[in-house]
Every structure is written in structure tokens, then in C-alpha cells.
Amino acid sequence: MGTTIVGAQVFDGERALGVATVLVEDDGTIGSVEPGEREPAEGEVDARGATLLPGLIDAHVHLRGAGNLGQDLRHGVTTVLDMFSAPPQFTAMLRGRAARRHDEADVRSSGLMAGAVDGWPAVMLPPDPSGWRMPGLSGPEDAEQFVADRRREGSDYLKVFVENAADVTRPTLSPETVAAVCAAARSQGLRTVAHAPTRWSVATARTAGVDVLTHLPLDGPLDDVDGDLVVVPTMTMMAALSSADSQRELVADPRLTARLPADVVAGLEAGDRGGLPTSSAAGASYGHAAENLARLVEAGATIVAGTDANDVPGRPAAVLHGASMHLELELLVRAGMTPADALAAATSRAADVFSLGDRGRVAPGKRADLLLVDGDPLTDVTATRNLRTVWRAGVEHDLAV
């Protein structure tokens, strides 16, 4: 029978279409978008007074279990882009679940991140009972094989850890190795995403030819800003690294806490942040990240929304899956983006940058990943928190915890 959604203001992922009727086909795609107002018939969804927009895409998460994906979907995040998970069979399991189910967010993943032998990110992983060890790169000569292995494992893009050896306590990739990884990825058809949280790492990643930068420097202004950059700024994480009180706004908003497990909310209220330390770098300030984002927006850079969500199911961390995406949208707007631009960063633009051609827009033939919210997020972006209904591939999802 499909689903007919009547009377909502429609944001199609790029612009406001006004009031329209949206038909969702049985196969989970959008059949038509018909402008104009009318009375809903029996069995149709009465969406008058609400806004319909594409399901949100979080372009930077870390997955620790399937519970993350359910929490994402309850907050209107219908697709997540995992930027490092391990071991490969764990990532494959989560992707397989997402392909079979409609009650969890869909997943794309980098799989393993490119890092140095015995360095980051391998040292973040707990011991594996099977004896598996995360591979690292000892130099540029390892790049081709590393990339080939990730492609064989099904990675959708490649994540590269770019940090100055002077700033961390473990081995890091040399600039030459970063460049070799980027070249190998290009030759094998994979986009590269750089972990680049400092001015040095941004400059190194750009010189190496990375396609997408993620994070923004806390240690000062970027040396060079231009409209060719593609950046996932993860402002929620930048705030978490700058202040132990970064979750105060989330806890204070019942629209966000209502869809979190009670023990997570209690942990946040008690100040349990999941063990994530704030930055100890000299001069580190959220103000630097916000200023860098404002300069990028002014230069016309491509900004894609992502949070760096990292919470373990049942244990709150600095950046929570799902709920933090709504904080991210607000922080993007505070830094100078319009609400429409911020929403595009979390929908159509994320889909375009990461080659998700079947979603990110409310248009005929696209996946019916949809979010219905009360109010108008184009005038007040926090209206995305007024969740009424979420559809993933045309299937309506229960928003209750």
C-alpha cells in the first residue's frame, strides 16, 4: 500500500519546496513529491504543521556495537559513516545487520584506519581474544598493500591518521607515508579522509592530497583557507575536547534525553563522560575551531556534518550517537552557516561527498529515509529535535527507547 505523507513543509536536502504530498512506494523509495495543500485522507499521514526532510547522515562516527545504530535511528540519523572500527569481521557484521534491518541506521565504513606500526590508532584497541593485531604501516612502501587489503575487506573509503610525532606519545605516519597512502587509494578508487585535528596535520594532509579533512584545529587559525576544501568539522567533538562541560546543553534539553537510555542520562547528569580527556595542547580552544569553521564557510568550502560519536552501548561518552547530531547542527549554525546550509551538510551534501547517490534528498526515486519534525528547522535548526516520525527505506521506526 505504501505511505502517503500529506501537508508537511518539505526541505528536499537543498531547498524548501513549500507544502507538498510525498508518496512512499512499497519498495522503500519515494514515488512522487506533489506540491500543494490538501486534506489528508483516511490512512494517510497527517503532517500538517511539521517539516519533512531527508534522514540525517552523520559523516563521522565510531561504532562499538549495534546499540549505537539503534540510538542513531531513534534520533533521526538514518545513515552513519564509520571512520574506524575493528576487527574487520566486526565491521562486516554491523554492515550485514544494517543491510537486513530497518530499526538501525545504515552503515558505510572505512574499516581499519591507516596508522603507524605500534602507534595510533592501534593502541586504542583492547586485546583481541583471537590474537588478531591491527596492521600498521612502517613506511611508504607499505601503502599499496594496506590499501588493497582494505578494499578487499569492503572499505567504502580510507581513513588516515595524520598527527605530528611531537604531539602524541606513539609512532605516527611520516608525511611521505601519508602521501603514499593517498596515492594508493586514488589508484584503487577509494576516497581518503584524514584525521587532522591540528594546524600541522591539516597542512600535511592537504599536501598529501587527502580528499576530506575531519576535525578542525583547536591550536590556532588555519594558515590557508579556500573554497576547494572538503571538511567534516566535528564541532561536537571539538567542544568535548575543550571542556568537560560540553554535554550540558544536551542534558538540559528533554527533547534529546527522551530517546536516550535512562542509565546514559543518569551518567551524563553525574558527570561521567566515558573517560575522554580534554585537550592538553598549549593554547587549545574551541574558539579556534569555531573561527576556522567561520572562515571556511566564508570561503565557500564544502562542509559536511559529522559528530565523531564514540559511545559504548550502556556507557556514556563525550559524544553520544544520535543525540549529538542535533548539537552539531546547532554548532554549525552558531559558527555562521544558515540553517538550510547546515541541514544540507547533514543530508544532500554528505550524500554527494561520500557517493551515496540513492539518499540524502526528498525526490522521486530516492530512498525514503525521512525525518518528520514539528516546527520549522529552516528558521530554528533546533526544531530537528522535535521528532515526530522517522522512516528508514520507507519503514516507520518506533522512536521510544
- The answer on pLDDT for 268 being more than 90 is no
How far apart (Å, rounded) are the C-alpha atoms in residues 374 and 49? Answer: 6
How far apart (Å, rounded) are the C-alpha atoms in residues 345 and 377? Answer: 14
| pLDDT band with cut points at 50, 70 and 90 for residue 316 | low
Per-residue b or e along 371-387, where b marks 16 or more CB atoms closer than 10 Å to that residue's CB: bbbebbbbeebbbbbbb
Tell me the average pLDDT across 11-26: 98
Q: Name residue 146's amino acid.
A: F
How far apart (Å, rounded) are the C-alpha atoms in residues 382 and 258? Answer: 15
- The answer on pLDDT for 275 being more than 60 is no
Grid cell digits, residue 272 = 561521567
What are the φ/ψ torsions at residue 61 (nearest 5 degrees)? Answer: -135, 165
What are the φ/ψ torsions at residue 291 (nearest 5 degrees)? Answer: -65, -40
Q: What is the pLDDT of residues 43-62, one digit of tens each?
A: 999 999 999 999 999 999 99
- Out of 160-169, 201-210, 246-255, 302-311, pick the least confident: 160-169
pLDDT of residue 400: 76
- The answer on pLDDT for 296 being more than 60 is yes
Tell me the average pLDDT across 306-319: 80
Which residue is it, cell 572500527? Answer: 85
Grid cell digits, residue 73 = 535511528
- The answer on pLDDT for 372 being more than 60 is yes
CA 89 → CA 70, 137, 145, 154, 309, distances in Å? 20, 21, 19, 11, 21
pLDDT of residue 336: 95
Residues of the chain with CATH 2.30.40.10: 1-55+359-401
Query: How much is the mean pLDDT over the chain?
Result: 92
Strand partners, 309: 61
Residues of the chain with CATH 3.20.20.140: 56-358
Strand partners, 29: 367
- The answer on pLDDT for 274 being more than 60 is no
Q: Residue 303 in contact with residue 349, Cβ under 8 Å? A: yes
pLDDT of residue 122: 76
| pLDDT band with cut points at 50, 70 and 90 for residue 278 | low
Q: Which residue, among 305, 370, 288, 291, has the nearest Cα to 339 in the 3D structure? A: 305
Grid cell digits, residue 350 = 554528505
Q: Which residue, among 47, 17, 37, has the nearest Cα to 390 in the 3D structure? A: 47
Tell me the average pLDDT across 95-109: 92
Q: Residue 76 in contact with residue 347, Cβ under 8 Å? A: no
What are the φ/ψ torsions at residue 107 (nearest 5 degrees)? Answer: -130, 135
The dihedral sign for the CA sequence 250, 253, 254, 256: negative
pLDDT of residue 315: 62
Which class in CATH covers the domain with range 56-358? alpha beta
For residue 167, count other CB atoms closer than 10 A to its CB.
14
pLDDT of residue 281: 65
CATH architecture, domain defined by 1-55+359-401: Roll (2.30)
- The answer on pLDDT for 332 being more than 90 is yes
Which residue is it, cell 593554547? Answer: 283
